[in-house]
């Protein structure tokens, strides 16, 4: 089943979230072969949970802390997120890595915490423009995945991967479908190596400047199991078009 996730980042107040979801539910048509996920800011999770009740749309968080509680000012635990109705958590987004200095070790601890709490993580990996130009895309992604999955290799079926080429995020210039397919194939083969006994329960999403006018170019390829959508998910009409591409 495909997964199409909306990452709103630092957008939308609770009131704006209410307006969005009401409109989205008016124009959205459920599909048996796809799963839809909304990831609003923490402050909008409660209202989103209430409005999505009774629908098949999942709710997720954009980040989490790996501890259940404690003296961690400004952080939020998985226990809180679970009670707010979240079933997914985005972990290791490039903006968390590059703007907030999250290390591979921290990302690993978050993944472990997600699995322990029963929330499904979406692990984000991807290379910068400099790394791509240096020809080390696969090396960077392999390193990110192996470090993130250290000690939890047997749980790959409980984790989804989002490939987000850092150089394409927010630039309006996506990778070509062929670029994405090559990396997705590499990730799939790597995960089979990491967990040979796995049942391939993971999905590999593409997350780099997906828009309604290019979404179908990616969905034609079976290696792409869904999207992690940023800016194009901020308008319900636009996000519905992307969802319908699957």
DSSP state of 100: H
List, in sequence order, the alpha helices (H) in 127-223: 129-133, 137-148, 177-194, 215-219
Number of neighbouring beta carbons within 10 Å of residue 119: 21
Q: What 3-state DSSP class applies to 195? A: coil
Q: Torsion angle of alpha carbons 100, 211, 42, 54, nearest 10°?
A: -150
Distance of CA 57 to the CA centre of its chain: 15
Residue 196 host element (H or E): none
Catalytic residue among 35, 95, 127, 164: 164
Asked if 164 is an active-site residue, the reply is yes
Angle between helices 14-27 and 236-244 (to 10 degrees): 40
Catalytic residue among 93, 95, 127, 184: 93
80: tokens are 């809180």
Residues marked as catalytic: 93, 164
């Amino acid at each position: 089943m495909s997964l199409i996730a909306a990452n709103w980042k630092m957008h939308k107040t609770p009131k704006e979230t209410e307006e969005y979801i009401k409109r989205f539910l008016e124009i959205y048509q459920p599909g048996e072969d796809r799963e839809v996920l909304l990831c609003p800011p923490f402050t909008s999770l409660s209202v989103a949970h209430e409005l999505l009740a009774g629908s098949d749309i999942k709710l997720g968080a954009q980040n989490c802390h790996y501890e259940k509680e404690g003296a961690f000012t400004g952080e939020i635990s998985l226990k809180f997120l679970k009670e707010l109705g979240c079933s997914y958590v985005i972990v290791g987004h490039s903006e968390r890595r590059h703007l907030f200095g999250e290390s591979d070790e921290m990302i690993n601890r978050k993944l472990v915490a997600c699995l322990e709490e029963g929330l499904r993580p979406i692990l984000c990996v991807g290379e910068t423009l400099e790394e791509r130009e240096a020809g080390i895309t696969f090396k960077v992604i392999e390193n990110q995945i192996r470090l993130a999955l250290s000690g939890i290799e047997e749980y790959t079926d409980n984790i989804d991967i989002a490939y987000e080429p850092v150089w394409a995020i927010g630039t309006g210039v996506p990778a070509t479908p062929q670029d994405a397919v090559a990396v997705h194939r590499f990730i799939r083969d790597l995960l089979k190596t990491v967990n040979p006994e796995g049942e391939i329960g993971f999905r590999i999403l593409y997350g780099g400047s997906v828009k309604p006018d290019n979404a179908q170019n990616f969905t034609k390829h079976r290696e792409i199991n869904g999207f992690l959508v940023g800016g194009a998910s901020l308008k319900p009409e636009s996000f519905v078009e992307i969802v319908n591409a699957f």
